[in-house]
């Protein structure tokens, strides 16, 4: 990692904090989110080109208001305070913050002084997202006003001599047109960044570091076929070559042809040592007769570990175990609660059972979209890189009730038709997750002159950004009609197709 150019983002608990880090990285400058109370020593050690204070829900006058080390303002490092961050800077340096009766919320016209380095290239009036109650009332000495709105007298301030800047609005969100330019101006005009952080420099640097770390030692990786573990495996393979062994468990609960596709990519395209363990029968027999979704998850999780352990034993002691941990999983907010993480049941919580000396997490500093870009950079096919999320327990939680091989096969066929038609219609990038469910329901139908009594398949498609909430996707009727007709015609034992029109909440995305 090129650590010579890093921006630190001090997290004061605002909801857009990770977005700020991403925007900075989009400007090709590496950034890290750190707790607001990070020590001066730590900051000096990281030697950032600039520091950004995020917004946050507190008032600077609250007893438990999060405060940073005041020494930050004397380090000579440029600081940009956003919202709460600006108010904290003001209060700490001797200005005052006031609480009006009303909050200001929404995209608002901000009049700015476009001779400021922060606003280079802007018109004098710009729409930015304001979302605050408190505002800066009087400026600390040495500061000057560079922006205001009709209800916020100090919407932007600067102390050029000390390189300190504050903005009441949120440049990181999409509602702030040209918001990224504010961030870019801070990075390039004020912090003097050169912007050499790109995914290709990341790959180059990571491979170099991994080579140094791994040398000719042995590395093991559990490959799920998901984006993170795939990108991690390929990246490590560039450094470890044949010293990397990937174990890929095909438990029969993957989608149609998925096992073969994963094998082809890793063995043929990347020439990686891949052990594909075909353990469908083993999983099916453990799952026989089990109907409770949580029991299914538990059985699959346990069995996964057991099989992996057996395979790893055959390989013997390894020096490193690769994990596909990504940045949102490791950010510490400093406010006591970590960022949004699904505690969700990832089949693959392995290490305890495997004989290894150290964990390697090559994607630890990347956001999901950066992991995807890295994947593309490494030559991993687009359909894998942009694969929709797929639950660890796989199709086991999409066959409602007990699981049999026949039911799995019906589901695989129906699901494959649905996915194919969504892709044909060009909807695969706008719908975030879509799949078929084999409901345990049989109903009466008629085919030719014959009465049928067969399964009902449900189609599920959601649009979401965080998978914690989501809305059902308004797929055009003509496409639903085609999918329905293809499924009942092409998949034996299905005579009815229904579309799930429930959002999350109250429903979840998966049916189990
Ligand atoms: P729900 O159904 O809770 O799903 O709305 C939210 C997201 O999580 C995925 N999901 C899982 N992922 N193991 C996983 O790795 C699981 O047991 C599991 N259950 C749900 C689901 O596909 C959706 O993306």
Per-residue pLDDT tens digits for 316-327: 889 999 999 998
Mean pLDDT along residues 282-289: 98
* Diameter over CA atoms, the chain: 89
- Say if residue 186 is in the same domain as residue 210: no
- The pLDDT of residue 27 is 96
Which of 190, 212, 230 terminates a domain? The answer is 190
- Say if residue 302 is in the same domain as residue 168: no
Banded model confidence at residue 329, pLDDT cuts 50, 70, 90: confident
- Say if residue 87 is in the same domain as residue 216: no
Integer angstrom CA distances of residue 240 from 219, 226, 305 = 8, 21, 24
Residue 225 falls inside a structural domain: yes
Minimum-distance ligand 1 atom for the alpha carbon of 512: 2
Let me know if 132 is a catalytic residue: no
Q: Which of 27, 68, 83, 152 is catalytic?
A: 83
- Say if residue 149 is in the same domain as residue 211: no
- The pLDDT of residue 332 is 64
Minimum-distance ligand 1 atom for the alpha carbon of 504: 5
Q: Which domain holds residue 293?
A: 199-385
Mean pLDDT along residues 39-56: 97
Which of 148, 164, 190 terminates a domain? The answer is 190
Using most ligand atoms within 8 A of CB, pick from 505, 510, 511, 512 the residue to mutate for ligand 1. Answer: 510
- Say if residue 14 is in the same domain as residue 125: yes
CA of residue 186 to ligand 1 center, whole Å: 39
- The pLDDT of residue 340 is 33
Per-residue pLDDT tens digits for 118-152: 999 999 999 999 999 999 999 999 999 999 999 99
- Provide the CATH number for the domain around residue 40: 3.40.50.880
Q: How many domains does the chain have?
A: 3
- The pLDDT of residue 408 is 98
- Say if residue 18 is in the same domain as residue 43: yes
- Say if residue 91 is in the same domain as residue 207: no
Integer angstrom CA distances of residue 315 from 93, 230, 477 = 60, 20, 52
- Say if residue 291 is in the same domain as residue 357: yes
Residue 301 falls inside a structural domain: yes
Residue 390 falls inside a structural domain: no
Using most ligand atoms within 8 A of CB, pick from 368, 387, 460, 509 the residue to mutate for ligand 1. Answer: 509
Mean pLDDT of the chain: 93
**Cα separation, 128 vs 167, whole angstroms:** 10
Which of 329, 355, 385 terminates a domain? The answer is 385
- The pLDDT of residue 335 is 58
Mean pLDDT along residues 347-361: 70
- Say if residue 220 is in the same domain as residue 281: yes
- Provide the CATH number for the domain around residue 251: 3.40.50.620
Instruction: Give me the sign of the Cα torsion angle 140, 48, 116, 83.
Output: negative
Q: Is the pLDDT of residue 37 over 90?
A: yes
Tell me the angle at which helices 368-377 and 227-240 cross, rounded to the nearest 10 degrees: 50
Residue 290 falls inside a structural domain: yes
Show the CA angle centred on residue 429, arms to residues 31 and 202, nearest 5°: 30
Pocket of ligand 1 (CB under 6 A): 297, 342, 344-346, 389, 391-393, 433, 467, 504, 508-510
Residue 289 falls inside a structural domain: yes
Q: Which of 10-19, 50-59, 72-81, 492-501 has the lowest mean pLDDT?
A: 10-19
Banded model confidence at residue 338, pLDDT cuts 50, 70, 90: very low
- The pLDDT of residue 334 is 55
Per-residue pLDDT tens digits for 176-230: 889 999 999 999 999 999 999 999 999 999 999 999 999 999 999 999 889 999 9
Banded model confidence at residue 174, pLDDT cuts 50, 70, 90: confident
* Residue partners of 249: CB distance under 8 A and separation at least 6: 222, 277, 279, 304, 307, 308, 311
Strand runs labelled E in 306-368: 318-322, 356-360
- Say if residue 225 is in the same domain as residue 318: yes
- Say if residue 115 is in the same domain as residue 259: no
Per-residue pLDDT tens digits for 4-21: 799 999 999 988 888 999
**Percent of the chain beyond pLDDT 70?**
95
Per-residue pLDDT tens digits for 397-420: 999 999 999 999 999 999 999 999
- Say if residue 328 is in the same domain as residue 454: no
- Provide the CATH number for the domain around residue 440: 3.30.300.10
Strand runs labelled E in 330-463: 356-360, 433-447, 450-463
- The pLDDT of residue 350 is 52
Residue 391 falls inside a structural domain: no
Residue 397 falls inside a structural domain: no
Q: Is the pLDDT of residue 34 over 50?
A: yes
Residue 507 falls inside a structural domain: no
Mean pLDDT along residues 108-125: 96
Q: Is the pLDDT of residue 2 over 60?
A: no
Q: Which of 237-251, 277-291, 341-355, 430-444 has the lowest mean pLDDT?
A: 341-355
Q: Are 258 and 249 in contact (CB under 8 A)?
A: no
């Amino acid at each position: 990692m090129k650590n010579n150019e890093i921006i630190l983002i001090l997290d004061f608990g605002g909801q857009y904090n990770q977005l700020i880090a991403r925007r900075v990285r989009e400007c090709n400058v590496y950034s890290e989110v750190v707790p607001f109370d990070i020590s001066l020593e730590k900051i000096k050690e990281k030697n950032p080109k600039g520091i950004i204070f995020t917004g946050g829900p507190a008032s600077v006058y609250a007893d438990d208001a999060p405060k940073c080390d005041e020494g930050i303002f004397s380090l000579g490092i440029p600081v940009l305070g956003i919202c709460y961050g600006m108010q904290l800077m003001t209060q700490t340096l001797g200005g005052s913050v006031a609480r009006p009766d009303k909050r200001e919320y929404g995209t608002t016209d901000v009049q700015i002084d476009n001779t400021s380095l922060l606003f280079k290239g802007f018109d004098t009036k710009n729409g930015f997202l304001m979302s605050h109650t408190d505002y800066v009332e009087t400026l600390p000495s040495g500061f000057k006003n560079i922006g205001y709105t009709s209800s916020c007298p100090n919407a932007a301030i600067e102390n050029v001599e000390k390189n300190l800047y504050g903005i009441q609005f949120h440049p990181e969100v999409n509602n702030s047109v040209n918001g990224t330019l504010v961030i870019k101006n801070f990075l390039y005009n004020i912090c003097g960044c050169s912007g050499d952080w790109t995914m290709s420099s990341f790959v180059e640097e990571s491979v170099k570091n991994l080579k140094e770390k791994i040398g000719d030692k042995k590395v093991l990786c559990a490959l799920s076929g998901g984006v993170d573990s795939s990108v991690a495996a390929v990246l490590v393979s560039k450094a470890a070559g044949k010293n990397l062994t990937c174990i890929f468990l095909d438990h029969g609960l993957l989608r149609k042809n998925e096992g073969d596709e994963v094998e082809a990519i890793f063995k043929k395209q990347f020439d990686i040592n891949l052990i594909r363990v075909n353990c469908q029968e083993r999983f099916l027999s453990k799952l026989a007769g089990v109907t409770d979704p949580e029991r299914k998850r538990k059985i699959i999780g346990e069995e996964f570990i057991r099989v992996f352990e057996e395979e790893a034993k055959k390989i013997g002691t390894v020096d490193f175990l690769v994990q596909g941990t990504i940045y949102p999983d490791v950010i510490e907010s400093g406010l006591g609660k970590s960022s949004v993480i699904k505690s969700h049941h990832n089949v693959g919580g392995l290490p305890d059972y495997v004989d290894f000396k150290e964990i390697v997490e090559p994607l630890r500093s990347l956001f999901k979209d950066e992991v995807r870009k890295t994947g593309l950079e490494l030559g991993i096919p687009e359909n894998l890189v942009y694969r929709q999320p797929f639950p660890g327990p796989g199709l086991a939680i999409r066959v409602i009730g007990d699981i049999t091989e026949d039911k799995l096969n019906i589901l695989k066929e129906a699901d494959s038709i649905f996915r194919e038609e969504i892709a044909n219609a060009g909807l695969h990038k706008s719908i975030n997750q879509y799949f078929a469910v084999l409901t345990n329901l049989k109903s009466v139908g008629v085919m030719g002159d014959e009465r049928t009594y067969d399964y009902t398949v449900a189609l599920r498609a959601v649009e979401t950004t965080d998978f914690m909430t989501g809305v059902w996707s308004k797929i055009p009727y003509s496409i639903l009609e085609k999918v329905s007709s293809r499924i009942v015609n092409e998949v034996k034992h299905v005579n009815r197709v229904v579309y799930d029109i429930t959002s999350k909440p109250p429903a979840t995305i998966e049916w189990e």
